[in-house]
Every structure is written in structure tokens, then in C-alpha cells.
Structure 1
């Protein structure tokens, strides 16, 4: 086994995470998301403080799921939808927050050929128009009929594109900020005025042509003194940690061909990639350009109404960003969940950008000033006050990164838990992927024994350099060069107990998955990550056009990069029940949890902690075929494998009951229960060189005691060992939760000891113990083993420690130290006898 992998501790809030997922946790991470503290924790400032010339620039991230589910889910449940709530809030507060302009960054709808979605978007945008609020809007990949990377805007049939029918240039021209468009009508530019200064907003469509880039150059050349905010659906991506920016080939193309050579562009906004990030680059003029990604479509409720509010402070030279949701605060109280936080407060969701506007723009506009009305207090705080007025929200979800591979929550009812740490390199015939919860180990199927075309042993490897941040496993199995015909997979043994496990009364399936960056729909669509193999035609499922000979249960990815979970419930005659996520990004990790709850008769899919919108109802448990194995890495249809997973799969766990996020692998083990039941205290006899500590802790955790050497000032530390293996160097709490450790090599002096338990980088709060060792000339009391005083834990088990009287055991009598020491010396023998009798009595009781 390789050594424990240490990870830095980072606190984050999951809006699902999570991230988000989203949580997130997307992290992203990829849709790992940071949630705000409860409303009661927010503070306000004096409206008269820090007056400056300010305005707010609003950004609407991808609204595709708001448009798609407006009529189906949001309107029936709430009477409105997030998109319309966002625009209504902007319209209602535009004057108060000085909002001169709102920018949409694309993916207005989810399905470009569905008129109902465009109607929902039309209803939302009409609110801005009716209020006289200027805005820009552009196409994302979901807003055009063919989003293939082989096509650019000039290749489209302009007469057929729905975006131009619903949001064409004639409609844009009714906005006084609109100044013109390129020949396709997709790209446009607007000019708005705020605080006596003018700014241009330049919009670019999905997959811009060189001709359109030339048009953009010409527009800026015609307005050479205007600072430019560029909006496009894709510029910047995000890493799996949910924070770090990642540049894309398309974004670099825009940089090279447009942004770097136009000093007027100082700020960009884009969506498309799930989460939030930002990157500062230096253009050809030596000046900073700030690229900002903001997209929450994979968060709770398709984004939960989060938008960006960017306060421009022209007086002090700063842009202050915050991520807020008018939708959250508009919901009925009884509908709120822990995901409903009015603000996201992660590092990429609340931040400031220092920018001396006059100096930054001096190269093309030497007259740019500090604004015309420097009399506004913080608009960021004002927006917070408006949103939080009367809002009594739920507590957010807390989580943090794991300390090492031990740092996860053991879940009651776990029937299998497959982990990959300790493995490395090619998964061959001798490799065993251990089920750490039982005897359901996985092994690789010999490629030569399958119908796979071209598959090799080297196609499957265990890797540890790139894993989901909230998986404590620290490793994953990766399947390379997979397709419909080339595949590899891992399987349980023919006689594994899990093959026949009864999950008819509810279950939870968890896994961490990633699609390779070169994933394509043609090669990899409809592939599967986890399958309970079998054949639906062997069950009571009625004949069906779709998947009648597929396995009863499977988790995979569609041709549209949506997670699909399809399963026959325990009532197979009702047919399958299917869950669908939103669009999943390639090259990014996701945590997927499938929870079947018999009480609600629902199956809910969570991606990075956030429940998806399309979940299954009227479903309890699952049907299975006796003796059929579980597999990872491929689909199983017509009694054979096919459609290999092109990407990686991390630790995977199956539980025989419905769970909550508190039970999931994204949560951390509880380190708060450290108890120190015996420790040295008070004055110890001269010549004492060794003292012993003991207590209770988390099985498998490290326990460490540290103190300073009064003579040398160096730290002295001893690791815990089990009572039955005192000479062992293993720094662990034993399986019964007991630990004992000893400090050796001590000398006369006073000691402040700290006892902690930890899992790698994550450590508990310390328990303190104080003691002293008398010098050779000092009288000392006889030792008595005691429990620590202040800061000590509870516990009834005696330790083997050497100690004096417990801290705080003596009353405050006002006697001086010499008299107290004399009294202690006179009573030492009696104390020793009494302690020995009591210790033996307790020992006999325990034994």
C-alpha cells in the first residue's frame, strides 16, 4: 500500500456541491458551489460611508434549464420561473442599484427547436424591455440548430435559426443601447452610459468566423475611445477543483485573434462551463484583461436563479463581484432546502478586481475620469440588504476536502465499496480492486475473451494524479480508447454476494466519474459507467421499443452528454424509470449519487450534491436477474458487453437504503470525538522520564501528543499505538476506539501538552493537558493517574499514565505554594494508597 496522501484543508460550501456540485462540489467542481452564511449572519454598513461614483453591471448566466422547465416544473410549483424572477428583480432594482446594462452570456434555451422554451425566454426578457432596461443577448451552443465545432456563424441557414426569429436585430434595435450587428445578425454591439462614462458591450456568437472577428475589429476601430466588455458563450473553462481557470483552444483563439491586440477590451464574460472562475492575462500593450466565467446550470434547480452583480467603483478603482439569487429569496418558505442560499461566497463568487480605470484606459481614452456623481455608498451592500430583507433562510451544507484516503463516512448498510488507492498502472489479470466493505472484489475481464475490437490490457489503468477533490480515495480507474465496439470492464465474481443483493426496499448508489476530453457523441454516446447486468426481457417488464434486452439497472451518459440512470423498480411491470442530468462537461469530474427512497417512491439523481430536475417517480427498489454480476466500464445489452466508458471512474459505493448527503463519500469522518481519559497532571516526581496518555478516538485515526521540552524548547511527540501492540510504530487508534501513547525522555520543568487526532492533513481541535516534573531538590507528591481538567474529554477507562493531582482538583484556599506543597508531602502516602486501591477496584470492575 502506498502512503497516505495528504491534502490541504479547504472549507467550502456546496450548493448541492457540489457544487454543485455544486457542490459544486464540479466542483466542480466541477460544480463544487460555495454557499453563503445564513441571512442572520450578514451585516450592513452605514449608507453614508465610503461614498464614490458607482454603478452595477448585471450578468445572466446560462438560463437553458429555466426556459426548458418553465412550464413543466417551475410554473406549476412556484407560479413563475427563475429566469423571469431574475429579470423582474433587475427591473425593480435598476434605479436603486444603478444598473445601466444587463448581459446574457448564452444558452438562452436548452433545445433550439422547441418553441415553448423560446417563449419562456421571451417572457423573461420582455420584462427588461417593458421596464426600459438595456440588455444584450447572444447564442450558446444550445441556441443554434447545429452546434458542431466544424461550423461557424457564417455557415448557418440564417432563415432557419430560431434565435434570429425570437431575438433578431429588429427586436434589438428597439433598445437605445443597440448600435449595430454583423451581417449574420448574431454578433452585436451596444453602448451604454454610466456615471458620465461610456462603455461598449461587444457580443459574439457560438463559434465565430474570421469574417465576424474582422467585423468586431472594425466596430472597435470606429469607436476607438470606448472601453469594451466582451461577452461570448465560451472564453474560459474551469478545472475539476471548481475554482482554478483553464484555458480552452477556442478561448485562446479569441485571445490571439481579437482580445490581445485590442487594448480596449479589458473585461470578458462567458458561460458554458459549469461553475465560476476568472483569469487575468496581459495583452499586447502590457495591460491586464480580466476573463470571468459564470455558469450555474448544473447547480440546484438548474442554477437556482444565481446571477452576477458587478459593482464598478470609478472613484476607488475597483470592480466588486457578488453572486446572488433573487429566485431563492422569492420562494415560499416551506419550499426552501439547504441548497437555497441567497448568496454564493466562494473565492470565485465574491471577490474584488483592482483596476485604475483612468490609467488602464489612458492609451485609448486619456480623458476617462472618476465618474460624475461620487455620492453613492456601496451598491454591493445595498444589493445584499435588498435581497436579505425579510429572508429567513436555511443553514447551508458544509463540507471540506479530505485529509487522506481514510477520511470518509462509513455508511450503515453498505453492501459494496470499491476503492483504487494502493494500485497503480495497468489493470491486468492479477489486479484485484478491493471491496473494502465485503467480499465483492472486482477483476478485469480478459479483452481476448470478449467481442471487443482492438481492446488491449493497456487500455485500463489506475491513476492518482487527477481525481475528484472530494473523493478521499485518491485514485481512479481510467478506460482509454473506448467506443461502442472497443471496450474493457471490471466485474464482480460469478458467486459474489452482491450479485443477488436485495435492493427492493430502497438504495443509494454513489460514484465519481469523468469523461475524457476527447469524448465524442458518435464514438462514446450511450456508454455506461456502472451496470447491474442482466436482461430486462427476463423480467415482468412489458415489451418495449427501447432497451427491452438491456440490463435492469445502468448509469451512463447520453449522446447529449447527460447522465442517464435507467432502472426497473421492484415493480418491473411498470417499466423502467429514468433520471437525466443536464449537460456534463468533458475533462471534469462529477460526483453522482442515486437515491431510491421507498417513503416518497422516488429515485433522485444528485450531481455534485445538487438534485437534478428530471427525476423518477412512482418507483421503489430495483428488479434484478439472479446471479448476474455488477460491472464498471461498459454497457451490457443482448447478454454481452459493449459501449465502453471513455473516461475514468473513481471509488464507487452501494448501500441498501436511502441516504442523505450526510452519509455520502463527499462528507468527512467525525474527528470531534477525541477523548483523553488519562493524562499526567500536576507535579510529577523528580526523575520522571516517561508519561502515558490514553483515551478514545476514531478507529483508524492518528493520535498525536506534542509538548515543548522546557530545557531545549524542542517539540517532543509520541504516536498512538494499540494497547496490544505497544511497540508498534503504527500511529492509529485501534478497532475498539482505544489508544495509548507515551512521551519519553522528559526532564524537570513545566509542560503544556496538546493531544489531537487526525486523518492526514485534517486534524481535530486539541485537548490540553498540563503537568510539571519536579527538580531533584523539590519535594513531590506521589503520582496519581487522573483525567485531564480543562479541555479534557470524557471517559471511564483508566490509563497507564503517570500523573499528579488533576488540574483544578484542589480548591482555591489562598494558601501559598510552599504550604500547599508541605501538605501534599505529608499526605502523599495516603494519596498513593487510596489511588492504588481505587485503581485496582476499577480494574477488577472493567475486567
Structure 2
């Protein structure tokens, strides 16, 4: 096993030139033409972003009719490869996998035609894998068959120069690659049409040698599908693959195979009880031998989704005015079998072999930045007083509106410094639950924040129901009238950070420089999900953030400071006309108030 890879992909110089339709490629012709073009054409360097959470795996199924004695045409596959090269940066294409049946008759002359076409990818330094299908080799034998034209063309010697190449079986017919994408490494196995028991053992060893890598299995035959029923089913050989390799290896979450048509897919639970997505893709039965149609698997780890599309770059690039009627229908396949999304919670799916490390708790003293006016953490046992870690003496006292209105919880936001929270069981009509308040003489009560402020909190709302409409997370006792403000509704609190009936975040305050309320609005939040929120004012404008992302409805009108009537602050409650009508319903992890504008890189969740 040749252990040669660094897990990074490289980019290519865009290459000029293409062969005409119907051309039969002689060995070396394409290489010479491309080399000449490279020496004269202006080069553009592209590169895949291996850290971005969205990346693309390109899949090329059976191309055998394009290399069929003197009946083939390599032009569609050249177009597909050049499309992948041209789109590498835009689509963040990190790897390309061919699913076998490169040629029709396993002849050396056919592989001589295919060889320079794949050199398009070689020269561009686009990593890829190729495996043997039944039309590439003697289909009556397993991978101990010995030498073949396939092996001389697509054996280990072709892939050793790739940075992703990890090694091959001793017989050369099975290989693996490790590529980097979305900030992590991924394992891809390219298995022969008929692996021997020894090759299955080799594959299990590869997986064991990379115990934390999610794995994609590519092979030529595994599942089949029938016309009119896109739900795939296992072949006898597919069951052998499942039994020997997939079922007991939780790292394999996706399998890709060709050989049969039409396309289909199915999900099966492995021994660990996790989903394995098994996809069949093959278009050789369609116009022009499938037109070198490709599948693009767009992984999006931020959205926990794989978006799949199927396109024919060769047809897409044709002049629409000259495109044939049959070609028109093949530009892109948009039915549910060929264009779909696969929801996968990647962190959860990979937790059994690559759990996300828990971010260590951080001591409160590390988060007391210059200007911290108050910093409350709810990571200790339930008590009547919550310490202000800022050192400014703005401690909180617990107030119960009903029995068991506040309880300690082990839940917390994954980026929260303190690893716990308090659960507030608030409600209204009548007011119930509990809240916290500063002392009557707390220094925070008199502060006006004329030079700016940042208010942060880790929150999880408990319920979507209207029973908690307009619940307050942070408020200041005292009304607009108490602070000498007569605009709008002077009975409103001078400061109110709350959630509307639609769970939209609202920051409604009386600034120092205005006689009326000033309101920032956020979008609707989902109950049961932790999030970090922040209100930042730089002395002139206020901006709401959720999970460090600025929101839309932030007023352009200047706003300076916060009016005060010198009364206490409330955590987990608000008031109207100095009457507390309800308490907050949900978890609060911690809350910090700073007397200046912080950047998102300085937030508690950074």
C-alpha cells in the first residue's frame, strides 16, 4: 500500500482547444495539442477552497459508448472534463470520481483513445479516481485477473502523482484517495467490479487506518433500479459488498455506482443504526451514449444538505440555435431521480467515529474585557443571587412569581464559555415563573452608555406558543415618562430586549438623544434551538446580531445612549408601566454588558 497523499487539492491552468465531434483520438495527439496550447495561451489559475463549508464532488458514470472501437466520440467527455476544470473555483469542485465502464470492449485501442482524454484532468492537476467496470476487464474474473489494458492505463502508476492518492491493492485494481474539503479530510474508495475477499479485507484495513474520516464508496455495481420505480434495490453482488464492507463500517455514509440504468437510490441502516445513502447513476442508454453527463454532489455542511444535479456540459456548450431536438432534452435532468437534495446532519452522522470536540469551558475572568459593566453566568447551582463577574457589583437577585419558576439546567450553547444554564418557566395571565433583578443601588442602574454599548446573551426559547408573546429577556425598570420622555407610549420601558408574538427579536429603547422610542427588529427565531444574540451601539447606530450575523432591520437613524430612571435592570422579564406582566420562558446561558461597541470577533461566542 503506497501511503502518499497530503489531502490537499491543486488547481490547473485553463487549457484551450477541443477535438471535433466524431474524432477518434490517437495516442499522444491530445497531449501534444494541449501542451502547445498551454505554451501560448494566457493561463488562469484556479483553486478549490478546502475550508469552505460548501464543496462539490463530481461523478462521471459509464462512458463506454464514447470509446467503442471506431464508433465512439470522445468530444462529450472532453467537454465535461473542461467544464469541471473551468468551474472548479465557482463550484468548489474538490474531486471527480469515475464509476467504471470507461470503454466498451476492454481493448487496448479503446484505452488508447481514453488515455489522453483523462490527461486533460492530469494536466489541470484535478484529482480524480477511476475504477474498473465489467466492460473494462475480463468480467468473468475477480480482481486477481492479472494484467489488462485497463490496468496499464488506469493502474496505480497514473494516480501516484496526485496529492490525494493514498494507495492501491497489490493487484492494482482497487485504490483510495483522501481529499480535503469543508475543513476536514474525506476518504474515497474506488473498488473494482468484482473485488476479491482479499481486496475487501484491504478496504476494511484502509478504513481502520483512517478511523475518523467519513468515507464514500465508489464501485461499478451495488444497487439497481427499475423503470417507473426509482427506489433502488440490492443485487446479489451488492449484498456481498454490503456484507463485507459497508454494513459494519459506519464511516461509509454514501455509495455511488453505475452499470445499470435508469438511476435510482435507496437508504439502508447499517449495523450502527445510521443511514447509508446508496445511489445508482448511469446515462449510457440516453442520447449520444449519455453525452458524458455528470452528476454534481454539492455538499453543504452549513445547511446539512447534499444538493445533487445532473447536467451535460457538452450539450450545454452548444449553440442553442444549432442544438438538435434530442440534445435539447438532455442539457439538464430535473426530475426527482436526477435532481434532489439529501438532508444529512453531518455532525450527528459522523459522531460515532469523529465526534465534534466539546469546546472547553472558559473561566469568567477571561471574558471580562475592558469596559465590562456586568457579566452574569448561569453555570452554577440554583441560588438566590447571581454574581456579577465584572467586579462592578451589579449582582442579581432571584424573584419567583410561581413555585419552580427557575431551575438549573445542564444545557448550554456549544460556544458558550460557561457549560450550563438556567431554565425560566415563565408565562402570563397571571404572570408566572421567575426573573432576576439588580439591587436598587446597583451602579448599572444609573449608567447611560453615551459612548456605546454591547449587550450579549446565549438563549434558547422554550415554546412557540402565543402564551409567551412579547416576553422580555432584558429590561430596565422605569418608563419613558419616568425618564422625561413623552413620545409614543411613555408607559413603555426605557430599555426592552424582547421577543414579539412571532418570536422576532426586538430592541426597543428610549435613547438619550431622542424623545421617542427607537427600535431594531430581528427575524423570527425557532424554539428549541440555542443561539447567541448581540446588540451593538457605537455611539451613533445600533445593530442586532444573531450568531454573529448582522440582521436587516437596523435603523439608519442615529441613536445615542440609553435613557434611565435610575431603577433596577431585569433579566428574564420586562414590564409595562412598571408592572411585570410575564416572565421569560426558555434557557439563558449567560449575559454580558460592555460600555463600548465590540466586533463579532470579540463576542462571547468567538
How does the TM-score come out when normalised to structure 1?
0.35
Instruction: Say which structure, 1 or 2, has more relative contact order (CA 8 Å, 6+ apart).
Output: 1
How does the TM-score come out when normalised to structure 2?
0.49
